[in-house]
A and B are shown apart, each in its own frame.
Chain A
Amino acid sequence: MTGDGALLWGLLALPVVSGAALAVGGRRAARMAAPLSVTAAAGTLALGAIAAALRPVTSAALFAGVRAGFAVDGLSAVLVLTVTAVTVAVLVFAAGDIEPAESRGRFFGLMLLFAGAMLVTVTATTLPVLLVGFEAMGAASWALIGFWWGERRRVEAGTTAFVTTRAADLGLYLAAGAAVAGGAGSLRLDTLAHLPAPWLGVATAGVVVAAFGKSAQLPFSFWLSRAMEGPSPVSALLHSATMVAAGAYLLLRLHPLLVASGWGEPVVAWTGAATAVVLGLVAVAQRDLKQLLAASTCAQVGFMVLAAGTGGVAAGTEQLVAHAATKSLLFLAAGAWLAALGTKQLGALAGAARRYRLVGLAFTAGALALAGLPPLSLWASKDAVLAGAFARDPALYGVGLAGAVISVIYSIRAIRIVWLPVPDDAEAGYDTERRGTRRAGWLLVAPLLVLGVGAIGFGVFALHPVSAAVADMVAGAEAASPSWAIGLSTGLTLVAAAAAWRWDVTARLPTPAAGALLGWLGLQAAAGNVVGRPVLRLAAALADFDDAILDRAVRAVGAGALGLARLAARVGEVGVDDVVGAVAAGAKQLGVVARRPQTGLVHQYYAQAAIAVAALVALIVVVR
Chain B
Amino acid sequence: MLSLITFFPAVAAIILAVVPKGRPGRFFLRAWVAVAAIEMALVVALWVAYDPRAGYQLTESLPWIPSAGVGYHVGVDGISLPLLAMTAALFLACAVYSLRETRRPRAYVCLFLGLQTVCTGVFVALDLIVFFVFFDLSIVAMYFLIAGWGHGEAAKDAALKFFLYTFVGSVVLLLGFIGLFLASSPHTFDIVALTKADPLAGRGLYAGVVLLALGIGFAIKTPTVPFHTWLPPAHTEAPAAGSAILAGVLLKLGTYGFVRIAMPLLPGAWRRFALVFIILGALSAVYGALVALAQRDFKRMIAYTSVNHMGFVVLGIGAAGVLAGTDAQARTLAVTGAVTQMVSHGLITGALFLLSGVLWDRTGSYDIEAHSGLAGPAPAFAGLTAVAAFASIGIPGFSGFVAEFQIFAGSLGSQVAATAVAVSSIVITAALFLRALQRMLAGPLRLPKTPSGVGRFADLTPREAAAVVPLLVASAAIGVAPRWLLDVIEPAARNLVHLVGG
Interface residues of A (CB under 8 A from B): 24, 60-66, 128, 131-133, 135-136, 139, 142-143, 146, 149-152, 154-156, 158-159, 162-163, 166-167, 170, 173-174, 176-183, 185, 187, 202, 535-536, 538-540, 542-543, 546, 550-551, 554, 558
Contact = CB atoms under 8 A, between A and B. Distances in A.
Contact of A536 (B293, B330, B424, B427): B293
B79 interface: no
A132 B396 contact: yes
A181 B428 CA distance: 25
A154 B416 CA distance: 37
A181 B326 contact: yes
B486 to A, nearest CB: 7
Given A149-B442, A181-B326, A535-B428, A176 B229 contact: no
Given A62-B482, A132-B396, A163-B427, 4 more contacts: A149-B443, A173-B408, A174-B408, A542-B290
B430 A131 contact: no
B386 to A, nearest CB: 8
B490 to A, nearest CB: 6
24 contacts: A60-B483, A62-B482, A63-B333, A63-B482, A132-B396, A150-B376, A151-B443, A155-B441, A156-B438, A158-B438, A159-B434, A163-B431, A170-B427, A173-B405, A173-B409, A176-B408, A177-B411, A177-B423, A181-B325, A185-B327, A539-B428, A546-B291, A550-B226, A551-B229
A146 B408 CA distance: 30
Given A159-B438, A162-B434, A170-B427, A546 B408 contact: no
Contacts of A179: 409
Given A180-B329, A181-B326, A554 B412 contact: no
A152 B438 contact: yes
B98 interface: no
A65 to B, nearest CB: 5
A539 B372 CA distance: 23
Interface string B226-254: 10011000000000000000000000000
A139 B327 contact: no
A166 B396 contact: no
Contact of A128 (B287, B295, B405): B405
A152 B482 CA distance: 36
B336 A64 contact: yes
A543 B164 CA distance: 23
Given A64-B333, A550-B226, A139 B405 contact: no
B132 to A, nearest CB: 23
B290 A538 contact: yes
Interface size class of B (residues with CB under 8 A): 35 or more
B329 A131 contact: no
Interface string B478-502: 0000110010001001100000000
B229 to A, nearest CB: 4
B397 A180 contact: no
Contacts of A178: 412
A170 B426 contact: yes
A151 B408 CA distance: 37
A229 to B, nearest CB: 12
Contacts of B4: none
Given A163-B431, A180-B330, A150 B443 contact: yes
A170 to B, nearest CB: 6
B181 interface: no
Nearest to B476: A20
B248 to A, nearest CB: 23
Contact of A180 (B395, B412, B416, B437): B412
Give the dominant DSSP class at A's interface: helix
Contacts of B290: 535, 538-539, 542-543
Nearest to A143: B386
Interface of B is mostly: helix
Contacts of A177: 408-413, 419, 423
A161 B376 CA distance: 23
A63 B486 contact: yes
A180 B408 CA distance: 10
B258 interface: no
B405 A131 contact: yes
B435 interface: yes
Nearest to B390: A139
Q: Most A CB atoms within 10 A — which of B229, B375, B396, B486?
A: B396
Contacts of A155: 437-438, 441-443
A162 B434 CA distance: 9
B214 to A, nearest CB: 21
Given A63-B336, A162-B430, A543-B291, A180 B438 contact: no
A166 B404 CA distance: 14
B233 to A, nearest CB: 9
A498 B333 CA distance: 61
B165 interface: yes
B1 interface: no
A576 to B, nearest CB: 25
Contacts of A550: 226, 229
Which 10 pairs show the lowest CB-CB distances between chains A and B?
A177-B412, A181-B413, A543-B294, A152-B443, A132-B396, A539-B293, A155-B442, A155-B438, A539-B294, A149-B442
A558 B161 CA distance: 9
B395 A64 contact: no
A550 B223 CA distance: 14
B447 to A, nearest CB: 16
B420 interface: yes
B441 A180 contact: no
A564 to B, nearest CB: 14
A230 to B, nearest CB: 14
B373 A150 contact: yes
B492 to A, nearest CB: 12
B295 A543 contact: yes
Contact of A135 (B383, B396, B416): B396
Interface in B330-349: 330, 332-333, 336
Contacts of A131: 396, 405
Nearest to A113: B397
Contacts of A135: 395-396, 401
Interface in B28-74: none
A583 B360 CA distance: 62
B444 interface: yes
B376 to A, nearest CB: 7
A550 B396 CA distance: 35
B423 to A, nearest CB: 5
B406 A174 contact: no
A546 B303 CA distance: 13
A146 B424 CA distance: 24
Contacts of B405: 63, 128, 131, 173, 176
Nearest to A61: B483
B22 to A, nearest CB: 43
Interface in B369-383: 372-373, 375-376, 383
A538 B401 CA distance: 26
Nearest to A132: B396
Contact of A174 (B332, B390, B423): B423
A146 B438 contact: yes
B294 A136 contact: no
A551 B229 CA distance: 6
Contacts of A166: 426-427, 430
Contact of A176 (B395, B409, B420, B493): B409
Contacts of A187: 409
Contacts of A182: 413
Contacts of B336: 63-64
A131 B406 CA distance: 12
A163 B434 contact: yes
B44 to A, nearest CB: 23
A558 B420 CA distance: 36
B293 to A, nearest CB: 4
Contacts of A62: 482-483
A63 B439 CA distance: 37
